[in-house]
Structure 1
Amino acid sequence: MNRYIRWQGLAVFIALIGLMCAFVYFFAGTLAKSGIIAAAESSFGAEVNIDKVEVNFSPASITIKSMQVTDKAEPMHNLFSFAQAKASVDIWQYLFGKVVIDTFDVEQLQFNDKRTTAGAVYVTVANEEGEGAKGLTDKLPDFDLTLPDTKTLLENSNLHTVKAAEQLELTYQQEQEKLKSLQDTLPSKAKLKAYQARVKALADRKIKSLEDLEQLKADFNKVKASFKEDQLAVKQAKEQLKLSKSKISKQLNELKLAPEKDWQEIESKYQLASLDAEDFAHILFGDKARDYYQSLEQVYNLLSPYIKGSASKEAHDKKQFTTGRFISFEEQDPYPEFLLKQGTLSLVLPQGDFSIALNEITHQHWYRNKASELSLRSKTQGQVQLDSEFTLNQQGTFNSDGKWSVNNLTLPHSEIANTKALTLNLTSGLLAGVGSYSLENRELLSDAKLQLTKAGYDGQAATKLTSVILETLNSLDSLDLTVNASGDLLEPILSMSSSLDKALSGAVKQQIANKLSGFKGDLSTGLNGKVTDTLELNSGNADEIINFESILTDTDQSLEDLKNSDVVKQQQDRLKNKAEDKLKKKLGKLFG
């Protein structure tokens, strides 16, 4: 045996292994602390403080005591901190390349808590103006109930009334030119008299025989043929007159309607209509709602690499290696690559103390066919409850749904609005409500019904309107708010309705009712005056068209009378009567 084993070398080897194990055993906590701090500072770009790290080998677990992560945007505050975190790991599964955490507990987890000293920042944060504040300023501008100057408005050349008046005058001019050109083609009074004289001469002609009667017919047809062109001119003039009157009538109607159109546009432009309080709900609470959805976005962005990158079991089995030989071990109950069996977190928030229970947290749910579950409870029984679960199948489809309820949750001091027109803070209040959500991949469907009671507000209003808002909020015993969200998780469509709607609309209407009534009266008087002035200015044009219509009617009637004259019949009757008289005389002589 001594020929094959060098006992001295073996003793040295065992001693070295023993020393290494002892070193790891006694200094594992220190090594783990240094590694965690280095990794965390690299990830968060700011100073990380840990009091102590304990590593146990039986069972395998690690405990981190008093960890603080500096917020690089606010070095005097922590991004988060906790009193203690403990995790126990399944070493056997770790040997197979899987992270299976049996238990994970975090105590007194806080966010944005203040540090005793400023933490070091290793990555500079660019100053960016918050979109919420900017958007709120745009949505709640420096608006006052001061009404625009009536005289200035009436002098505006873009008014519908002014444009309609100008168009009416232009239409009169255009149509008069058309009618005047046609009037020159109409027969004059002298020409009509000449026609009448010729017809009268035919009527006075002495007819002695049938030959004379036939000649009369021929001459009368010549007279009718001579004024046929005049009749055509009259017909064209009548058609044009009808078109002109239709156009002028349309312009007159538009002129009469123009003052009302102007009022509607002025009412809309200067926000004089009844105010839609749904806009107020968006203005006052929309950015807060978006903050919560942005928090969801941050969580989604954090988890999305795991959601998108999680391969199915089949895909995992097909991994190729460039060297070596892959040996697979079939497991009876295989575990996913990552699994947190059970976890608890105790949260310390401005709203109170809460606990979160985690169960079966993984990104490969098809291994154990169990949904990941998350539940949140407030320290005060029944005050806040949230139950949620999610799954990710082998095809990469992510599904999640949950419901929550809040009952008399005390709200901390918080800022609602901060603009030049209005600063508004919630100083106190109790919140109650229920809600639910469902999520498929990134398609969100969520609804929430909230009620705020015993609310206190403070702030400053720079305009009459914002004064009304502040006064109305302070007068409300309770405030109901319904929030619905749908669409893409990262850009949801928000809709809101609130009991503030009716209250604000009524208050604003009461404030401006008398002033608005007088303003509308003065403006309507001015606009209607413009209509009257336009009609008076164009009364001469209207008279000319009436005169033209009268001349046209008389001319048309005269030509029609000449055309329908019974000259031939009268002469025919005379000739007949003469013949009868002669016959009677001859018969009288014969039998007399």
Structure 2
Amino acid sequence: MTKWIRWSGLLGFVAFITVLVVFWLFAAAPIIKFSIENFGSQAVGAKVDVDEVILGFNPLVLSINGVQVTDKDKPMSNLVSFDSAVADMALFPLLLGKAIIQDMSLQGVEFGSVRQSSGALPNSEQVTQSQTDEAEPAKQELAAEPAAKAENSSSDPLPSADDILAREPLLTVSRGEKFKSSLATHKQEIDESLAGVPNEQALRDYQSKLDIILAGKFKSLKDFKARKKALDELQDQFKADRKAIKRASAAIKNGKKDLQSQWSGLKQAPKEDYKNIKGKYTLDAMGTSNLAALLFGKDAGGYAATALEYYEKVSPLLASDDEEGDVLEEAKQKRLAGQFVHFPTDRPLPDFWIKHLSFTASLPMGEVIVTVEDITHQQDVINKATTLMAVGRDMPTIKSLTLNGVLDHRNAKGRDQFDLAIQDWQLKGLNLGLAGLELDNSLLDVNADVIFNGSQMNAQGQGSFNQANFSSNDKTVLAKEMVSALANIDTFSVDGKAQGELTHPDVSISSDLDSKLSKAFNKRIKQKQDELANELRKKLADKLLSYGGDYEQQLKQLNASEGSLDGKSKAMGKMAQTEMGDYQSQLKAQAKAKADKKKKELAKKAKDKLKKFF
């Protein structure tokens, strides 16, 4: 028997096994640790840290302790971390370079834990920061979009009348300033023109001078010439004064015409301002048509943004590496280096495959048991999609929680689907952020599903609120009215939808709460609008008065001045028409009168003589 044994070969086999065992004991674990950290870091784009790797032989078990997977967008936080992972590995595929894990369980799983040091890769830290800066606005926009849409669809909250008048461009102000400036300009022109117009005393003096000039007969030629000169001088003054009166009348007439035109527009300005303000700040039933989005949009958007953030980081890890473009590119790079050829087989195996993964995640709301089947980046090789099931356990505030998912990346586009169901979620002290409103307590049932097709998503969900109680710490009338209206509403539903691009979906939120509140709101808002309208009218009228002031009284004064100028103009015209006869005419008249007198005397004497004869 011993002759059949080839001792040299046996010794060589024993030596090979010994070397293999020694390698397994001392080198395999560090190599596996290095491989996990190296290839894991490349996959997630950030550091993957492993404290310890332990190998067991019978059965072949791989234990990994202290794993931290860095969030590449937040280098000081972990995407996921766990205390230990125990994996049952298949031996023979491992000899072929394939990591096939039959069962893997995780302990101490945490999401978003804080790191002691940055997990950014040295050569990608700047790129990561740049990507974070670019992605952060989109995430914030997604989280704020429902509430933003609600705020945009609702009219602005009614501010005070002073706030409105301070922020709005008012016709009353613009026209009032123009009127005020024009009034000052015309007043200056009128005052300057009236300064050259003779007053009543001057007119009386003119009349006295005329009376003196025209009184009595000329004593001599010299007396006539002196009076004629005085009259001519007075006539010249009359002409100058009449021109001054004409200028003053024109200034008053033009001023009245301009001011009356502006005053007409200024009086209409408060009405036009009120109409414009009313149209802009109206809040009615249409304004409350998206109140649910305003109340619940930020919370729903925040949850959605967090879920999408994790999906965006996990989904690329499941994408098949056999896509045509990648294969062609890889072939060009490795054509001269050679490659490992996969020959056809009845039972093909991927390079990496976790058939069954289970762990318990500790969340603020309680524990969630998670089971994942068929994790691999080569789903086309096994022709199976990755499946996910998460079930809540010992959750104080939730009766039941179930999440099912199918991540199918057997083709380049990929199709992932998730379904979420939550029953009797006890909500307490939820700050709604409007008028100090809080949802004191309520039972919430949630049913939601989402489908991802490539870069497109289609999600819809419904939340049913039961036994709802609201309160508010605000002392405003609006807050009190809202709480009073909500006191009669203990059941309502909120529907949400998200469609479009994964990075920027179109999000909408609606609820039957809107219709239930609209009637109560309309009554209160009508009252509030009436109060505001009255205050606005009063303040606009005050502004009008501040610009117009005693315009009506000033207009009466202008009319009186215009009438006085007309009287002065007529008086001056009459005085200007006064003429004085010449001295020769007076002498002829005197001679004629003397001759007539002598003629009468002769006639009388002749008559007396004739009487004597009879």
Q: TM-score, normalised by structure 1?
A: 0.56
C-alpha separation between the residues in 1 aligned to 2:38 and 2:164?
72
Matching of residue 119 in structure 1 with residue 116 in structure 2: yes
Separation (CA, whole Å) in 1 of partners of 2:75 and 2:157: 41
Compared CA separation, residues 461 and 23, structure 1 to 2 (3 A): farther
Alignment partner of 1:349 is 2:363: yes
Three-state SS of the structure 1 residue aligned to 2:526 is helix
- Mark the structure with the bigger radius of gyration: 2
Partner residue, 2:385: 371
Asked if 1:110 corresponds to 2:110, the answer is yes
1:392 aligns with 2:409: yes
| TM-score (ref. length: structure 2) | 0.54
Judging changes above 3 Å, is the alpha-carbon distance between structure 1 residues 469 and 56 closer, same or farther for their aligned structure 2 residues? farther
Equivalent pair of 2:108/2:361 in contact (CA under 8 Å): yes
SS at match of 1:282: helix
Residues 26 and 518 (structure 1), Cα distance of their counterparts in 2 relative to 1, 3 Å cut: closer
The 3-state SS of whatever aligns with 1:492 is strand
* Offset, 1:286: 2.2
1:298 partner SS: helix
SS in 2 for 1:329: coil
Asked if 2 retains the 8 angstrom alpha-carbon contact of 1:143 and 1:465, the reply is no
Distance 1:299 1:473, change over 3 A: same
CA distance in 2, matches of 1:402, 1:325: 37
Change (3 A) 1:45 1:372: closer
2:148–2:294 contact (8 Å) kept in structure 1 = no
Equivalence map 1:58-457=2 (5 Å): 58-65=58-65, 67=67, 80-112=80-112, 119-121=116-118, 123=120, 131=140, 145-149=158-162, 157-158=170-171, 265-274=276-285, 276-303=287-314, 305-306=316-317, 310-312=321-323, 319=331, 321-324=335-338, 327-379=341-393, 383-394=400-411, 396-411=412-427, 417=433, 429-454=442-467
Q: CA deviation at 1:100?
A: 3.1
Q: Which residue of 519, 530, 533 maps to 1:517?
A: 530
Alpha-carbon distance in structure 2 between the residues aligned to 1:295 and 1:393? 26
Given residue 85 of structure 2, which amino acid in structure 1 is its aligned partner? A
C-alpha contact (below 8 Å) 1:276/1:501 kept by paired residues: no
Matched AA of 2:391: R
Change beyond 3 A, Cα 1:134–1:362: closer
Task: Please give the alpha-carbon distance, in whole angstroms, between the structure 1 residues aligned to 2:540 and 2:470.
Answer: 44
Do 1:278 and 1:496's aligned partners in 2 also have CA atoms closer than 8 Å? no
1:496 counterpart SS class: strand
Residues 448 and 461 of structure 1: is their aligned pair in 2 closer, same or farther, counting only changes over 3 Å? same
| SS in structure 2 of the partner of residue 302 of structure 1 | helix
- Paired residue secondary structure (2:161): coil
The answer to whether the Cα contact below 8 Å between 1:150 and 1:522 also exists between their aligned partners in 2 is: no
Work out whether residues 320 and 380 of structure 2, in 8 Å CA contact, stay in contact via their aligned partners in 1: no
Give the distance between the partners of 1:495 and 1:377, measured in 2 at CA: 28
Q: Is the 8 A contact 1:46 1:119 kept in 2?
A: no
- Taking every aligned residue pair, what percent have the same amino acid on both sides? 23
- Matched to 2:423, the amino acid is N
Contact 1:145 1:464 in 2 (8 A): no
Q: CA deviation at 1:493?
A: 0.7
Inter-partner Cα distance in structure 2 for 1:85 and 1:430: 37
**Alpha carbons of structure 1 residues 312 and 272: separation in structure 2 relative to 1, 3 Å:** closer
Give me the whole-angstrom Cα distance separating, in 2, the residues matched to 1:60 and 1:386.
32
1:315 and 1:79 mapped to 2: Cα distance? 27
Which SS does the other structure have where 1:111 is aligned? Answer: coil
CA-CA distance at 1:489 after TM superposition: 1.7
Instruction: Return the alpha-carbon distance in structure 2 between the equivalents of residues 47 and 362 of structure 1.
Output: 18
Query: What are the ranges of 5 or more consecutive residues in structure 1 without an aligned counterpart?
Result: 167-256, 538-592
Distance in 2 (alpha carbons) for counterparts of 1:22 and 1:390: 41
Question: For residues 149 and 432 of structure 1, do their structure 2 counterparts lie closer, same or farther at Cα, with a shift above 3 Å needed?
Answer: same
46 and 471 in structure 1: CA distance in 2 versus 1, 3 angstrom threshold: farther
Matches of 2:356 and 2:390 in 1, distance apart?
Answer: 14
- CA contact 1:363–1:391 (8 Å) conserved in 2: no
Contact 1:105-1:344 within 8 A present in 2 as well: yes
Aligned to 1:247: none
Letter of the structure 2 residue corresponding to residue 374 of structure 1? L
When the two chains are superposed, the root-mean-square deviation of aligned CA atoms in Å is 5.5
Q: CA deviation at 1:432?
A: 0.6
